[in-house]
Structure 1
Amino acid sequence: MELRHLRYFAALAEQLSFTVAAQKVHVTQSTLSHQIRQLEEELGCRLFEREGRRVTMTEAGELFLERVRNALREVDEGVSTVRFAAEEMSGVVRIGATHTFNLHIIPRCVSLFLDRHPSVRVDVLEMTGDGIAQALLRGDLDIGVTYKPNDALPLRFEPLYTEEMMLAVGLRHPFAKRRFVRMSELHLQRMVLLPRSFSTRVLLDESFRMANAAPVVVAEMNAIAPMIELVRATDIATIVSTHALRREDVKMIPLESPTPVRSPGLLWRRDEARTPAARAFASIVRSVSDSESRDTRRGTARAPRH
């Protein structure tokens, strides 16, 4: 199977006419028909039904089409990126990031990106995951760096890694010296959490339900920094990402039974070509996120429990 087979298939699927599709890909009708037949023979199934001049797609063809379109889009964007690589990029790349990423990962990414592409301006907005999704759909952002929003169907979510969420408590909290805490032990514990409109809160509520735990939510805040400050100064606890906190006056404790886990990632608009600058920034995000994830796993490694 060669790339031309996929392009011919996509053209015929779009036009449902051998004559029009052949014109679009600049080959003769007989050549197109022969190439499609080769593709069907290699796949071992029919992709199109032919009744005279009428062409319709089979169920197998419909299933194959979605994958082919994604593959061709990736190839075309890759070619575009390579062609632009030798040229100096310019313009603006617009990034939407949640607070956790904006604390450490995004600043590192911006620094690396500007070193490599000094002629590109980087605009970063700190937003909620759902806010990022809406901004992408409106065309106000090029990339989202976030956790998977509640409704990501119109968008494409590319996971970067998987992270555990941890209990955060002040140094005088009864749990401060614990090596781990079970979710069931948070029953009736005073906590500050994100509002229910956040996908992370939905995840935590499900984890509480599985552990038959009902914490006393004394406060809800839509930003991590004030939550952590409240935890530092009181006996109130919270649950945050391991990337959200790097300070000595708050203790991070692993959670078990169950361990809340979430996957941060890149959020894109579907079926839309990405600019070379956006693709270059995304590549840096992948690299930095991978490095951060490895460092976090080493830093939070736990001794065996007996």
Structure 2
Amino acid sequence: MIERIHLLILREVAQRGSLTAAAEALHLTQSALSHAIRKLEGQLGVDVWIRDGRSLRPTPAGLYLLALGGRLLPQLEHAERLMAQYAQGQRGTLRIGMECAPCYQWLLKVVAPYLAAWPDVDVDVKQRFQFGGIKALEEWEIDVLVTPDPVHKAGLAWAPVFDYEQVLVVAQSHPLAGRDYVEPCELVDEVLITYPVDIDRLDIYNAFFLPAGCAPRQRKTIETTDILLQMVASGRGVAALPRWLVEEYALRMPVVPVRLGQNGIPKSIFLGRRADDAAVEYQDAFIRMAAGVGDNA
């Protein structure tokens, strides 16, 4: 019979590269670990790994069990965390993944009233999933994903929380600052400052530059919104950000928004979660509150 310990052993060996390291991680002796797998192989009638020099290489059967463990173990670990929280009198922890760098300021407006309304739920924001949150959502590392680019897949549910416009942001002294809108080829001599995201995930390229067949002369990447906008304010380049965010910063920095093209670039922010979590009350409450804050973004 396949047991959880077998899946754990296979995962640790695959991640750490040796029986010795896996045994240390699982607080088992190496002989106990080897015995558990030999017993499993005997029951199944198939090898799950073979020796390749000093390392172990999974067989096709072992690869299948690794994939199975990749799906099941995160769910079991998540359930155990929830049970521990219930035992301690907590409702749970809402783990939010960010795949929208400028949305952090918006999220703060949601988290404060949410924590006040749900005192027995903790919130943890994970920005390390900023540019790859779908996988984290599917593997139970986060519970809610904030993204402008939902991927509609089986097992995931999406809720739009607010619409916004992607705009060009320039310094007040920039020649384009007084314009109603700007065309793509007017920016060919500009330095475009963006977050460190692949170009194929940037709306200003997909919806603005590429259809027009032109691009800025240089692209620079900066991780933080504050520094990015300080660079723009000092005339070091231009950027593309949500209008609501630019207007907030314009109250304290010499920057202004300019429409991208005559019709602009409309976007929406979505919250994604696992469809199986639809009955989790505190997740529903967060999405409702986020939509309310989004109306004022």
TM-score, scaled to structure 1: 0.59
AA partner of residue 99 (structure 1): A
Uncovered stretches (5+) of structure 2, i.e. residues with no partner: 1-88
Give the match for residue 137 of structure 2: 136
Would the aligned equivalents of 1:211 and 1:257 in 2 still touch at CA under 8 Å?
no
1:168, 1:231 within 8 Å by CA — same for their partners in 2? yes
- 2:275 alignment partner AA: R
- Cα contact 2:207–2:265 (8 A) shared by 1: no
Q: Structure 1 202/289 Cα, relative in aligned 2: closer, same or farther at 3 Å?
A: closer
Question: Of residues 254, 259, 266 in structure 2, which corresponds to 1:254?
Answer: 259
The one-letter code of the counterpart of 1:253 is V
Alignment counterpart, residue 100 of structure 1, candidates 102, 106, 110: 102
Counterpart AA for 2:101 = H
- Structure 2 vs 1, CA of residues 190 and 165 (structure 1 numbering), >3 Å: closer, same or farther? same
The answer on whether the counterparts of 2:162 and 2:291 sit within 8 Å (CA) in structure 1 is no
Alignment gaps of 5+ in structure 1: 1-87, 293-306
Distance 1:212 1:257 in 2: 17
Deviation string 1:206-258 (CA, Å, 9 cap, x unpaired) is: 42122333211231234433321211122411111123332232111122245
Q: How many angstroms does 1:132 deviate by?
A: 2.2
Map of 1:254-293 to 2, 5 A cutoff? Answer: 254-257=259-262, 259-292=264-297
CA deviation vs aligned residue, 1:76-122 (integer Å, no higher than 9, x gap): xxxxxxxxxxxx9722111123332211x211211111221112211
AA partner of residue 205 (structure 1): N
Residues 89/283 of structure 1: CA separation in 2 closer, same or farther (3 Å cut):
farther
Query: How far off its partner does 1:183 sit?
Result: 2.8
Structure 1 stretch displaced more, 126-135 or 246-255 = 126-135
Give runs of aligned pairs for residues 122-161 of structure 1, distance below 5 A.
122-149=123-150, 151-154=151-154, 155-161=156-162
Q: Is the 8 A contact 2:146 2:272 kept in 1?
A: yes
- 1:162-202 Cα deviation digits (max 9, x unpaired): 32111111122221232322233223322222345266415
User: Structure 1 204/163 Cα, relative in aligned 2: closer, same or farther at 3 Å?
Assistant: farther
Residues 197 and 270 (structure 1 numbering): CA distance in 2 closer, same or farther, change over 3 Å? farther
- Give the secondary structure class of the aligned counterpart of 1:264: strand
Query: 1:122–1:272: structure 2 CA closer, same or farther, 3 Å change rule?
Result: closer
Aligned partner of 1:34 in structure 2 is none
| Distance change in 2, residues 1:152/1:229 (3 Å) | farther
* 1:101 alignment partner, SS class: helix
Does the Cα contact within 8 Å between 2:169 and 2:238 map onto a contact in 1?
Answer: yes
Q: Write the distance in 1 (CA, Å) between the matches of 2:200 and 2:265.
A: 12
- Provide the secondary structure at the position in 2 that maps to 1:263: strand
Tell me the distance in 2 between the aligned counterparts of 1:260 and 1:200: 14
Number of residue pairs matched by the alignment? 203
Match of 1:205 in 2: 206
The within-5 A match list for 1:1-306 is 90-97=91-98, 98-103=100-105, 105-149=106-150, 151-154=151-154, 155-197=156-198, 200-202=201-203, 204-245=205-246, 246-247=248-249, 248-257=253-262, 259-292=264-297
Identity over aligned residues, as a percent? 23
Aligned residue for 1:7? Answer: none
Question: Offset of 1:127 from its aligned partner?
Answer: 4.3
Which residue of structure 2 aligns with residue 66 of structure 1? none
Distance 1:183 1:258 in 2: 13
2:101/2:195 contact within 8 Å kept: no
SS at match of 2:162: coil
The 2-side partners of 1:122 and 1:195 are apart by: 26
Structure 2 distance, partners of 1:198, 1:235, is 20
Cα 1:279–1:285 change in 2 (3 A) is: same
The CA distance in 2 between the partners of 1:134 and 1:244, in whole Å, is 27
Q: Give how far 1:204 is off.
A: 2.7
Contact 1:136–1:268, Cα closer than 8 Å, also in 2: yes
Amino acid at match of 2:254: D
Q: Please give the secondary structure, in 2, of the residue aligned with 1:161.
A: strand
- Given that 1:129 and 1:198 are in contact with CA atoms closer than 8 Å, whether structure 2 keeps it comes out as no
Q: Is the 8 A contact 1:147 1:265 kept in 2?
A: yes
